[in-house]
Chain A
């Protein structure tokens, strides 16, 4: 006895997976919202922060933004395919989405390497030595926000992968593509907020 016998003992119309996912997304927005508020408050407190943002790689950030937007388009195509129950097309579009995730992570890794090389880390001891205490906070927030987002990219990609594999094996559970896709859109939207705030503030 489990919930797939839904039709016998429930008569409501809200599709479950979608409902649950929206709830999860709302929760995630509050978490990232908290971080963004912290970032904004600190930015208002320390106007000199703009200087630090100049060391971020705006080109890389812009490319990544397009990569994520494109991946969201791919996931929409995957959902279309799922609605039509076309397993092959679902696999195709999901693989493209995951490819975009990998490109995003690769570019991010390149950025991080470069920034760490310049001495900007979570605690930035080099900056501390120069007496630039307040600036270290910028980088702490930079890594925290983009790092947490990056973890969500990894999580989202893994979710898409496992859902796709399950669909390919069982030729059913297509509604899960939509749920995973929603999660992916959330990851994309959070980046749309982070990018201007962190990279473009001056």
Chain B
């Protein structure tokens, strides 16, 4: 890897263990996240193949039974939501880009930063260990609802003594989650203090690139929403290991309590994921549209409103769960309202595109697809689910699965890839192969939709989710429904396999890709592009002074079509 730093002469392992440089830590997060997400992707392929072709012997897995199915589905969800999404969008992007975009040398607390990575790595290791404990993995759904998550799911594994229960997949998955939360909390504190304290001279808070704001607001939202779930997780661990009955109705407890504590975090969590994605889109769109961001302040205000609202909508996951239906009405109203600020943000991005001299580069293709897919198939189906009466029918069907894949994948994968393809040359000093990049993009776009659209139709036909098979159920095995499952499965398999094109491109280009001839091939205005690729240890030979906002493209009175932030007019 041609990462030039003053640690140049130190080996890979020395840097892995001892480097406090935020860029190294960001890349460590990237690799660790991609490693565990690889498994989550394989899990998805395996269980989807099982659903459409139940008699097929899957290589390395054989024929899946219901117990294995539940473990695969559960861990696919857990890994993708809790490790991949935040690992890429918060930890990797935040660590690598925040100090560089702010024009400073490193995070406010580099040692705390390194510690946060160790916690993250430990959480991944504990998660992997959970697959080798007697239960072979946690199989109660990524939402971990008790009483199911307190017991051993009917697996008939030893579960009587304290030792049985402590060394169970249940306990280990919860510990992994708790450790990961600690890592993200530490990271969040770092991001926040860095934004407020370590900006370049002349960079006011309203001249900070939107991505940095988005990551910091997301981190603050994470910090505030995760508290009750930490308490709840602690209580769930006690229910499993210490015989308490917090969620046991026969002991005065209540399973609904977990649902509330979980979703109080769970809903803001999706905005913790969405906000950095939107931030990446802002950076990629402005650079490639050669146009200033439309409504920077407007977007910030909308996002802050949405952030506050996000703490008040959680029970739309519980419309038919046994909460008071009058409360459901209130949550339904707030859910509908929260769609409005995000509509405003998306419209601002679209206004940025309007009448622009846009360049259809690879990052731009990813970015524009992200907007289209997220808004149309993700956002609008949220209206269906937010209408409680329809949710009564659609809840826990494949319609919900399609909805959240259309909100999460465009944000994590499409916007994530937009960012990756955009900043690859910055962190490696080389270019990604364009042909492979285009192949990756088109395959992902086509086959993601090939997976998602059938799933909407299957959900409307009344197909419940988290089922290990449908062929024994007549109303789900007639007509074109099996065909829809097959199309979704084949598309999902190709979708996952297409990502290997990306992994190959990534690794090959890091070592053999064409070296960039410029620090700023995209001709972008933000500060990370005004230093070498990759930036040196400390980021800048001379620390930049900022004279204006971060998106001065095609500014009247300036000859070039872009004006870097550290250049006077």
Q: Are B252 and A133 in contact (CB under 8 A)?
A: yes
Stretch at the interface among B234-242, B345-353, B474-482: B234-242
Residues of B within 8 A of A70 (CB): none
Contact A9:B104 (CB < 8 A) given known A30-B227, A34-B232: yes
**A101-131 with Cβ < 8 A to chain B:** 122-123, 125, 128
CB distance from B242 to the nearest CB of A (A): 4
How far, in Å, is A193 (CB) from chain B's closest CB? 14
B residues in contact with A123, CB < 8 Å: 242-245
On chain B, the residues within 8 Å of A137 by CB distance are 244-246, 251-253
Instruction: Tell which of B20, B197, B245, B543 touches A2, judged by Cβ atoms closer than 8 Å.
Output: B20
Task: List the 4 closest A-B pairs by CB distance, nearest first.
Answer: A30-B227, A123-B243, A34-B228, A134-B252
Which residues B490-515 have CB closer than 8 A to chain A? none
Would you call A144 and B238 a contact (CB within 8 A)? yes
Residue numbers in A under 8 Å from B198 (CB-CB): 3, 6, 9-10, 12
Interface residues of A (CB under 8 A from B): 1-3, 5-6, 8-12, 14, 16, 19-20, 23-24, 26-35, 37-38, 41-42, 46, 122-123, 125, 128, 133-137, 140-141, 144, 148
Residues of B within 8 A of A28 (CB): 227
**A11 touching B228 by the CB < 8 A rule?**
no
How many residues of chain B get a CB closer than 8 Å to chain A's CBs? 48
Asked whether A20 lies within 8 Å of B261 as measured between CB atoms, the reply is no
Query: Is B223 touching A23 in the complex (CB atoms < 8 A)?
Result: yes
For the complex formed, measure the closest distance between the CB of A196 and the CB atoms of chain B, giving whole angstroms.
Answer: 19
Contact between B238 and A140, CB atoms less than 8 A apart? yes
A134's contact among B107, B242, B251, by CB below 8 Å, is which?
B251
| A16 x B242 contact (CB < 8 A) | no
CB of B185 within 8 A of chain A?
yes
A46 CA / B103 CA spacing, docked (Å): 57
Note all chain B residues with C-beta closer than 8 A to A122.
Answer: 238, 242-244
Q: Which residues of A contact B227 (CB under 8 A)?
A: 27-34
Residues from chain B with Cβ under 8 Å of A26 in the complex: 223-224
Which of A2, A23, A31 sits near B106, CB closer than 8 Å?
Answer: A2
B203-224 near A? 1/0 per residue, CB < 8 Å: 0000000000000000000011
Q: Is the CB of B234 within 8 A of A144?
A: yes
What is the interface of chain B, defined by CB distance below 8 A to chain A?
Answer: 6, 20, 103-110, 185, 188-189, 192-193, 196-201, 223-232, 234-235, 238, 242-246, 250-253, 257, 261, 537-538, 543
Nearest-CB distance from A181 to chain B (Å)?
18
CB pair A16–B252 under 8 Å, yes or no, is no
- Give the number of residue pairs across the A-B interface with Cβ within 8 Å: 136
Residues of chain B within 8 A (CB-CB) of A1 are 6, 105-106, 537-538
- CB–CB B197/A14 < 8 A: yes
Docked complex Cα distance between A14 and B198 (Å) = 10
- Whether B110 contacts A2 by the Cβ 8 Å rule is yes
With both beta carbons as reference points, the residue of chain A lying nearest to B227 in the complex is identified as: A30
In the complex, the answer to whether B189 meets A3 with C-beta atoms within 8 Å is no
Instruction: Pick from A2, A14, A35, A42: contact of B231, CB below 8 A.
Output: A35
Given contacts A19-B196, A144-B238, contact A34 B109 (CB under 8 A): no
Instruction: List the B side residues contacting A135 at CB < 8 Å.
Output: 252
Name the B residues within 8 Å of A24 (CB-CB): 185, 189
Q: State whether A30 and B250 are in contact (beta carbons under 8 Å apart), knowing that A10-B197, A136-B245, A137-B245 are contacts in the complex.
A: no
- Closest A residue by C-beta to B21: A1
Task: State A2–B539 Cα separation when bound (angstroms).
Answer: 12
Residue numbers in B under 8 Å from A10 (CB-CB): 104, 197-199
In contact, B230 and A34 (Cβ under 8 angstroms): yes
Nearest Cβ in chain B — how far from A42, in angstroms?
A: 7
Known: A10-B199, A136-B252. A144 touches B235 (CB 8 A): yes
- The verdict on A125 contacting B243 (CB below 8 Å), with A1-B538, A9-B198 known, is yes
Does B192 lie within 8 Å of A16, measured CB to CB?
A: no
A47 CB to closest chain B CB (Å) equals: 12
With CB as the reference atom, state the residue of chain A lying closest to B243: A123
